[in-house]
Amino acid sequence: MLSASAPPRLRPGDRVAVIAPSGPVSPGAVAAGLALLEARYRVVVDTSEETGIFARAGLFAGDDDRRAEELHRHLADPDVRAVFCARGGYGASRLLPWLDPAPLRADPKLLVGFSDITFLLAWALTAGVRGVHGPVVTQLGRLPAGDQRALFELLERPTPPPPLAGESWLPGSAAGPLLGGNLELLSRLLGTPWALPLQGALLFAEDVEERPYRIDRTLTHLEQAGGLGQVAGLALGDFLRCDPATGAPPVTAREVLLERARELHLPLLGGLPVGHGERNVALPFGGRAHLEAGALVFDQAAVA
């Protein structure tokens, strides 16, 4: 396991940045989440269509240079204490070879996001700094108030968050650093310098719009590459709209996940309110946690 530390906690009134490192962002989609952040922190965000988060270049929120420079600029700014990602989508992986981890190592700060931001959380962990797997700004404004509050408490309190209840699909005990994110993207990190160190880890995963056979293919790849068989246990969030295609065998995503966990003799906690659905409780990425009596129990805080 890489040695990674928790960044300093946020305080209300701190300066934070909002960036768009992946897919294009629309003003309407981000407005409610930005308002929530601005009510609590001093938000730095470039909303121009040329140089800011509303830029567009093909599939992305601006070209690779714009998106990488935006992240670098805020990581190097000593007044910025956290970086929130506007949305996921696709594109963060293209930035990884060009990102300089030195500013983050010199001045650790919070990086918050999920989905495509799985890549940036893995990059930050490789740089020695733990992040937060939590809502992107486009999702934040439509989450229940309890999930919004859970995010701010996670960012501001140097104590472990309360346990997160799930469903014991395969009972058993497991403990380790909590690592994971979007399941499909975790497999794309294999063979890169930013692959997550899964040996002894508690692996959490979620996904959206992946057919069961594709989930099985991803799990097979993770297992054959040596990662899945090394984890201590599994904690699963939403697998939203991951239904079999019309005419395909009526095998569900849950059945696929259960089969693989049984084969590997892994305890499996399912049903966590994490992912692309109506809920997304923030998690301390890289902090130690364990499975206990149908819950994910956090042993370390996200912040110092």
State which residues form the domain around 44. 15-156
Query: Mean pLDDT across the stretch 239-249?
Result: 96
Q: How far is residue 186 from each of residues 75, 81, 153, 189, measured CA to CA in Å?
A: 24, 27, 27, 5
Active site residues: 115, 206, 276
Final residue before a domain boundary, out of 112, 130, 156: 156
Instruction: For residue range 88-141, list pLDDT tens digits in order.
Output: 999 999 999 999 999 999 999 999 999 999 999 999 999 999 999 999 999 999
Helix, strand or coil, per DSSP, at residue 151: helix
Q: State how far the Cα of 43 lies from the Cα of 82, in Å rounded to an integer.
A: 10
Answer yes or no: do 131 and 231 share one domain: no
Residue 9: other Cβ atoms inside 10 A: 19
Q: Side chain identity at 134, as an amino acid letter? A: G
Helix, strand or coil, per DSSP, at residue 304: coil
Answer yes or no: do 115 and 232 share one domain: no
* CA nearest to 267, candidates 287, 288, 294: 294
Q: So what's the pLDDT on residue 1?
A: 52
Q: How many domains does the chain have?
A: 2
Residue 152 forms part of a structural domain: yes
Query: Percentage helix, strand, coil, to 5, in the chain?
Result: 30, 20, 45
Q: So what's the pLDDT on residue 51?
A: 95
